Every structure is written in structure tokens, then in C-alpha cells.
Structure 1
Amino acid sequence: MSATVSNILPDSSERDRQLKRRPQALRSARRTVPMHLLLLSIALVTAFPFYAMVVISLQPGQPIQMPQALFPTTISFEAFIDTLSSRNIPRWTLNSAIYSIVSTVFVLLFASMAGYAFAKKRFPGRELIFWVLVAMLMIPYHLTIIPQYILVGDLGGLNTMWGMLVPTLANTSAMFLMRQFIHGIPDELLDAAKIDGAGEFRIYWSIILPQTKPILATLATFVFLAHWNDFLWPMISQQSAENHVLTVGLNTLQEEQVPLATIMAAAVISFIPTFLVFVFFQRYFVRGVMMSGMK
């Protein structure tokens, strides 16, 4: 009987340990609560502009008065219907999709190829070429926009989709990150593939690319978001309204005195693709950032 009771009831030493843990847990909770409140406050401040954008887009034809507009009593999707039924906004959305997707694909392709060459190949001038490219990162983008505009204009690329796309296909930052990541891939994997008779392209396609999926997903997210939100170069290189991307088109809507609810509805629509990209690539995005930091 005593053995049974001792198995059911904890001994005094176990009770003492549990009592000692409680003050420690309370102190730990007291330390984390202020941090959680601070993070919650930052999250609310960050999300407030998006909330205001959505709320205003749901109040077409009504005067916008703050702060009453932030707490609507009636909701209408008329602004979204007008946005999707207009002629220009769907065209601008398609242009933004082409510009972002094509640029992202080619940036990843060229960056991974260049990163593989600089990380694993031996050729004369490799280090010099690499550091010259890295030094180009120190040059502000706005200083190169005028020579870029003149060059594309001389080639006849102004006001064309290819003229807007071509200057964005090579990305030195992406190449640098790919080189640093590929440098950590063991050389034994490449040597084993060569012994099995694999060529350079087979090694690149079957070994390098699968090993770099996390960093590729991270770069894809960054590059897509950067091109989807790009404003300066698409505005300079495209003069026709039909060739505008969504960011430039929304700016022209403000100049044409389009209702604010319609502009906010278009902004909400432009946000959806970037949100979906982050949701689908979030797992690879976090893993890629962590692995890049450790390397």
C-alpha cells in the first residue's frame, strides 16, 4: 500500500523543485510581457496604412473624413468593380507581371551561373573581375540611370517592353549572394559528378541548383518584390500609357483626379501578388536568410 501511495504522490524533493520553478516562470513572464506588447504595438503601427487603404477602398462616392473614415458604417465593392472593368489597370497589372516574372527568372539564371563560375571555376582574372563587379555595388543606382537611358535609347528600346526588361536582367547583388552560397557546397560532390561523366551543365543543373534552392527562393522573393514595386526606371523608359506598369499607372491616376477609393482599390489589387509570393515562399525565405547569415 505504501508503495502505491508513493508512486501516486510526488516526494517532497519533487514538490520543492516545482515550487522553486514557479517564481522563475513568473519572473520570465514579467520580462517577456513588455517585449510582446512592444512588438504588438509595432505590428499595429505597421499594419495601419494597409488597413486604411482597404477601408477607404470600400467607401466609394463618400467624402473621406478622418478619423470617421476608418470606421465605416457601409461597405461597397464598387471601387473594385470599376478598377477591374477599366481598360488601363488590367493592362498595367499584366505589364507589371511580365516585368517582374521575366526579370526574376533571368536574374536567378544569370546570378546562379555567374555564382557557380566565380565560386568553383578557375580562370585567369577571376578575382579581379569578381571584385570589380562587387565594387559596382558602391555606385548609387541613380548615377547610372542616365547612361542606361541613353544606351537603351540608342538601341531603340525606349517605350518597348524589352527596353525596360534588358537592363534589369543582370543583378550584381544576386550574383554576389549566389557566389557566397555556392562557395560552401563541398567540392567532393562536383568531383564525384565529374567521375561519373557529368558535364558542366549537368553539374550546374543537377547538383548546384538543387543545393541552392533556399537562396534561390530568397532571391526570387526579393527580386520579384523589387521589380513589382519599381517606379523610377519604368517611368523613365515608358512614355505610352499602355506600356506603364502598375506603380507608374497609379501615379498617373492621381494626376487625373480619379476618386480616392478607386486609387486605393487599385493599390489593394497591386498588393495581392506580393503577398501571395511571400506566403508561398516564406519557408524558403526564412531558411535562406538563416543559412546565408550562418555562411
Structure 2
Amino acid sequence: MSFVTVTTPALAAAPRPSAARRQGEEDIAVASRSRVGTVIGHLVLVLLAVFSVFPVYWMFATALRAPENALDQTLLPWPLSLENFAYVWDTIPIGSMLVNTFVMALTLATAQLLIAVLAAYGFAVWNFAGRKLLMFLFIGSWLVPFQVTMIPNYVLVSQMGLLGTIGGVVVPQLAGAFAVLLMVQHMRAFPRELIEAAHLDGRSSWATLWSVVVPNMRPALAALGIMAFISAWNEYLWPTLIMRQSDALLQVGVRSFLSAEGNNWGATMAAAGLACVPVLLIYIFLQRYVVDAFVRSGLK
């Protein structure tokens, strides 16, 4: 008996994509997902920007309407009118109020910068007994609400005879815990080798601070100065509590258009718009220092 072996031809194997082709397809998929994520991220940022800017736009839109049309809900104010700005200029001394507010905010920002630099240099560079305890107290003072310290500060200002003066607004806020904490972070990132080299050259700690450390921290100082200035400029509750005259500071003067008899919203928005202009200009011209400070987070 003989056996006949029948061989069937093998099925042709399906061609497999090469490794380079698979890698290319994966790269295309990753790039596609990346583009979709980028588009979604930009859309979210645009929506947040519109949401943030719209109140400012509505303020100027209301200020540019005619007084009888101040409560209109149209997005575009038409016809445009400057009557509200003229009324504000004639009703309150807006020029002197801008100057007084600028002096107050600049004084506060300068004082907070100076105290923050000195305190941060001590906390970051020097080793002394009780340093951690003092740092903890600074952090704790930052967490205390302003309403808790408002009455003790008011009594202190009254005993000092500063009620109704710009000094009464400035004195309790000369030191800022946030300013100290921010400067401490930048001081700790500063190279210790430069400080030690300055000491080896015979410079004192005071000279090292102002000739070596401070010149290399201009972006951080500019960012902190801008934030302190804007915070002081926008302060409303404390100046309203201290100032007895409504024509001294801009924050208090804006309130004069709001009364129990009726609210002049057009004039209020015009005065608020004039109050926003200096801050907007300062930020436009100095914004690169703020960005540089937060990107670098100190000198590496």
C-alpha cells in the first residue's frame, strides 16, 4: 500500500506594516490629539478673557451713554456721549483726588517694598534664634481677616490723631505679610556664592544687600511693587472708614454718586472708569516685569 502525500499551498500571509509606517501613524494621531487639545485650550482661555474683560467694557459702555440712557442693556452705546465725564469733572475735584490717591498708593507700595526687602533678607540669609517662629507669625498675620484687625487699627489711628488724613490710611498698612513672603522666596533662590563673595571682598551686609542682591532682583521688585500699588489703589473699605471728607481720595469720592435719593449710575461708571485708567497704563507699560518675575521665580 502506498501513501500519497498531498500538499496544499500555504495561504499567503497578509502584509504587515513596517515599523516606520506604524510609528508615522502614531505620530499623526498624537499630533492630531495635540492640535485638538490646543484648540480647546485656546477656546477656554478666550472665554475666560471675555468673561474677565466684559465688566470693564460694560463700565465704560455705561459711562459713554447719555445720562437718560444709563440703564440701557444694549451692548454698543449709541449715540456716544461725554456728559457723564463732564458731570463728574464739574461735581467732584477729580484731579486732586487722582493725585492724592496716587501719592497714597505710591507711598504704601514703596514702604511695603522697603520693609519686605529688609525682612526677607534677614529671614533668607541670616540664621538667628526664633527665625522660624517669626516666620510663622508673619504667615499667621497674613491669614487673619481684615475685619478682625479693623477696629484695633481704627482705635490706634484715632489715638495718633490721624483720622481724616492720608497718613491714617497709610500707617496701618506699611508692612505687608504677602510682600515679605514673596520676597523671602526670591531671596532663598538667590545664589549664596555671590553673597559670600561680597563678604569676602569686605562688604557689610547692608552694602551686600543694596549693591549685589537688590540690583539682581529688579523683576521681582517690579512685580511686587505693581501688585502693592494696585492693591492700595483699589482699597475701599479702610479709606472710607478713615477719611471724613469725600473729596480726598478717589475711592471715597466715587461713593458720592450713590445716595438714598437715587443712584447716578452714569456718573458712577464714569468716575470708576477714570479711576481705572492710571492702573491700566501702569500695567501696560510694566507688564513685562511681572511676567519675567513669575517665569524666573528668582535668580537661578
Normalised to the residue count of structure 2, the TM-score between the two structures is 0.83
Report the AA paired with residue 195 of structure 1: L
In the alignment, the residues of structure 1 paired with residue 264 and residue 66 of structure 2 have an alpha-carbon distance, to the nearest angstrom, of 8
**What RMSD in Å do the two structures reach over aligned CA positions?**
2.7
Task: State how 1:133-148 maps to structure 2 within 5 Å.
Answer: 133-148=138-153
Overall identity of the aligned pairs, in %: 32
The answer for the alignment partner of 1:40 in structure 2 is 46
Normalised by the size of structure 1, how large is the TM-score? 0.85
Matching of residue 284 in structure 1 with residue 286 in structure 2: no
Task: Work out whether 1:186 is the aligned partner of 2:191.
Answer: yes
Pairing 1:238–2:243 present: yes
Q: What amino acid does structure 1 have at the position aligned with 2:251?
A: T
Residue 60 of structure 1 contacts residue 262 of structure 1 at CA under 8 Å; is this kept in 2? Answer: no
**Higher normalized helix content (fraction of residues):** 1
The structure 1 residue matched to 2:253, chosen from 234, 246, 249, is 249
179-188 or 29-38, which moves further after superposition? 29-38
Whole-angstrom CA distance in 2 between matches of 1:146 and 1:32: 50
Task: Give the corresponding residue for 2:11.
Answer: none
Of stretches 154-163 and 116-125 in structure 1, the one that deviates more from structure 2 is: 116-125
Query: Higher mean Cα deviation, 115-124 or 84-93?
Result: 84-93
* Partner in structure 2 of residue 4 of structure 1: none
Counterpart in 1 of 2:61? 55
CA shift for structure 1 position 149: 0.5
Inter-CA distance 32–126: structure 2 relative to 1 (3 Å threshold): closer
Code of the residue aligned with 2:233 in structure 1: it is W
Q: Deviations over 1:200-221 (max 9, x none)?
A: 3221111111122222122112
Give the greater-gyration-radius structure (CA). 2
Structure 1 residue aligned with 2:98? 93
Q: Which amino acid aligns with 1:253?
A: F
Corresponding residue for residue 263 of structure 1: 268
Counterpart amino acid of 2:84?
Answer: A
Q: Report how many residues are paired.
A: 281
1:19, CA displacement in angstroms? 8.8
In 1, distance between residues paired with 2:66 and 2:41? Answer: 39
* Structure 2 gap ranges (5+): 1-19
Instruction: Tell me the SS of whatever aligns to 2:189.
Output: coil
Tell me which residue corresponds to 1:163.
168
Per-residue CA deviation, residues 30-78 of structure 1 (Å, 9 max, x unaligned), is 333233223222222222211111111111233234433x223311223
Report SS of the residue matched to 1:267: helix
Unaligned runs of 5+ in 1: 1-13
